Structure 1
Amino acid sequence: MFYVTSCPAGLIRKVLLPAGFDYFATARFDFNSTELKDIEYIVSYYYNKLEYARFTSSLGKFVGYTEWGVKQANYWNSLTSYITGLKADKETYCQYNIGIDYQAMLTKSVEPTVRLYSRTPPAGHHPSMLVCRVYDFYPKTIKVRWLRDGQEVTSDVTTTDEMEDGDWYYQVHSTLEYTPRSGERISCRVEHASLKEPLVTDWDPSMPDSERNKLAIGASGLILGLILSLAGFIYYKRKARGQNQSEPEPIRTWIEPEHI
């Protein structure tokens, strides 16, 4: 289910008064479907960043939030033609634009990416902890569940709320603390509007992340050592060869022995 607020720029009015205070009004609509009954049309008036009066289509009238706002709301509510026009805007303006929003944006979806990894649990807890990171998905609504041999796990599970990435995508993290059993299968199950069927990712405990990291670091160090050793050997050989070529050949002379 979508819940969207739209505030078209054409319905925003802003006035800077001589004293330096801001006065502005906004009109927006909140909705979770294209049905007219699920649309709330809201017109708000502000002075110096404080909302002092608001019209909502569900009430069909203005409500004041300050002393001046109450007086102004009563005045606007007495203008029958004005209130009737605002009620009509819900259908003539909001419903039309909501259809455009649905076609342009709200029907789009992006499949999530799932990554499973282990983490050291807090002291005194279960000996193992898994993290299921689900990210780069749209829209926001998503379900993340843990499975143990195909059965849902509900205890020792912690899941964050959907977090915005700032680029229209979302992410969520879910952790499972558990005690490993031989031959069991731990899985992270993700349900999302972009998926035709749930995405199930199994945990591979063949080698923990920490061991994989240690192995990768060790292999990198070994390769670097071999490269440095080879470079040193080549440098030594070239230097030794250059020294041999630069040394002059000894001059051999034959001295005739003196005759006695």
Structure 2
Amino acid sequence: MASSFLCLTLLFITIYSADGFEMYTVDRCVFNSTELKDIEYIRSYYYHKLEFTRFSSSLGKYVGYTEYGVKNAESWNQDKGNLAAMNAQKDTYCQHNIGIDYQGFLSKSAEPTVELYSTTPPAGRHPAMLVCSVYDFYPKTIRVSWLRDGQEVRSDVTSTDEMEDGDWYYQIQSHLEYTPRSGEKISCKVEHASLKEPLIKDWDPSMPESEKNKIAIGASGLILGLILSLAGFIYYRRKARG
């Protein structure tokens, strides 16, 4: 699978208060590898949430987005020493921190856990719906698809976006609405960077083990209740005769 596009944002805020208005700068590194050619250093200048000037290492200069920002850019671009220092940030600031992050967590991966179950479909064209729940995976990029007798299903499929768990892991759900056919095989296919080959989970239309246990427990309780009732009835009749 192709590697995902990553963005590391390091924030330095300088605030100047004047009747509730704020000015601040944001430094960030956009990258998809640790190679210098794949890194862009950006510094943005904001006033009251509006970006007015930006430096980009890809352009090698400042660019203005407002009248005030354009004047700033024209002035700052005249300072060759400042431009050289800003361009150097791509190496000293970005590449250094990106290397640390790759070693620490960006090169790591966690295999997804997959659960497949049925649910009541919304009003639609099909009487049945399956849910493929995929969770606890990292990195974020993942592909979830459905197979019906070995062929990929492209219609009546809906999926959520990858959702953060708040602990570096992600989760996603995919839904398949369908009309059951006798003898068919339906599977959920998961492709992820942590897997050497796609993970395929087959749907078993038989009753889930949890439901079987519930029925077994209920039946046992019913039988026990009948036995106790019968014993009580026999005891009552014998006592009445005595």
- Give me the TM-score of the superposition, normalised by structure 2: 0.83
Q: What is the correspondence of 1:47-86 to structure 2 with a 5 Å cutoff? A: 47-86=47-86
Q: Distance in 2 between matches of 1:203 and 1:121?
A: 16
Counterpart for residue 2 of structure 1: 4
Counterpart for residue 131 of structure 2: 131
> Residue 222 and residue 46 in structure 1: after superposition, are their counterparts in 2 closer, same or farther (change >3 A)?
same
Q: What is the CA distance between 1:21 and its match in structure 2?
A: 3.1
Q: Distance in 1 between matches of 2:163 and 2:54?
A: 30
Counterpart for residue 114 of structure 2: 114
Q: Deviations over 1:178-229 (max 9, x none)?
A: 22222221111111111122111110101279xx6597278359649958x9
**Which range is displaced more, 166-175 or 133-142?**
166-175
> Residue 181 and residue 84 in structure 1: after superposition, are their counterparts in 2 closer, same or farther (change >3 A)?
same
Q: Distance in 2 between matches of 1:22 and 1:53?
A: 15
For the pair 1:30 / 2:16, whether they are aligned, the reply is no
Counterpart for residue 88 of structure 2: 88
2:6 counterpart letter in structure 1: V
Q: What is the CA distance between 1:89 and its match in structure 2?
A: 1.5
1:51 counterpart letter in structure 2: E
Q: What is the CA distance between 1:122 and its match in structure 2?
A: 2.9
1:219 counterpart letter in structure 2: I
Q: Distance in 1 between matches of 2:160 and 2:27?
A: 33
**Which range is displaced more, 115-124 or 134-143?**
115-124
- How many residues align structurally? 228
2:195 counterpart letter in structure 1: L
Q: What is the CA distance between 1:3 and its match in structure 2?
A: 2.6
**Which range is displaced more, 184-193 or 57-66?**
57-66
Q: Distance in 1 between matches of 2:116 and 2:216?
A: 23
Q: What is the CA distance between 1:6 and its match in structure 2?
A: 2.2
> Residue 157 and residue 142 in structure 1: after superposition, are their counterparts in 2 closer, same or farther (change >3 A)?
same
2:137 counterpart letter in structure 1: F
2:142 counterpart letter in structure 1: I
Counterpart for residue 160 of structure 1: 160
Q: 214, 217, 235: which one pairs with 1:216?
A: 214
Q: Distance in 2 between matches of 1:171 and 1:152?
A: 22
Counterpart for residue 239 of structure 2: none
- Determine which structure has more spread, i.e. the larger CA radius of gyration: 1
Q: Distance in 2 between matches of 1:63 and 1:145?
A: 43
Q: Distance in 1 between matches of 2:81 and 2:36?
A: 22
Specify the SS of the correspondent of 1:8: strand
Q: Deviations over 1:26-82 (max 9, x none)?
A: 211011111222211100112233221111111221112222111111111111111
Q: Distance in 2 between matches of 1:90 and 1:208?
A: 55
Alpha-carbon contact 1:2-1:31 (below 8 Å) kept:
no
> Residue 66 and residue 184 in structure 1: after superposition, are their counterparts in 2 closer, same or farther (change >3 A)?
same
Q: Distance in 1 between matches of 2:208 and 2:120?
A: 11
Q: What is the CA distance between 1:176 and its match in structure 2?
A: 1.3
Q: Deviations over 1:80-137 (max 9, x none)?
A: 1111211122123211221111110101111111111112223341222111111111
For the pair 1:185 / 2:202, whether they are aligned, the reply is no
> Residue 141 and residue 124 in structure 1: after superposition, are their counterparts in 2 closer, same or farther (change >3 A)?
closer
Specify the SS of the correspondent of 1:114: strand
Query: Root-mean-square deviation (CA), in Å?
Result: 2.8
Q: Distance in 1 between matches of 2:220 and 2:54?
A: 70
> Residue 16 and residue 221 in structure 1: after superposition, are their counterparts in 2 closer, same or farther (change >3 A)?
farther
Q: Distance in 2 between matches of 1:82 and 1:224?
A: 84
Q: Deviations over 1:149-192 (max 9, x none)?
A: 22222222222221222221111111112222222211111111
**Which range is displaced more, 214-223 or 54-63?**
214-223
Q: Deviations over 1:218-250 (max 9, x none)?
A: 8359649958x97xx9xxxxxxxxxxxxxxxxx
- Unaligned runs of 5+ residues in structure 2 are 232-242
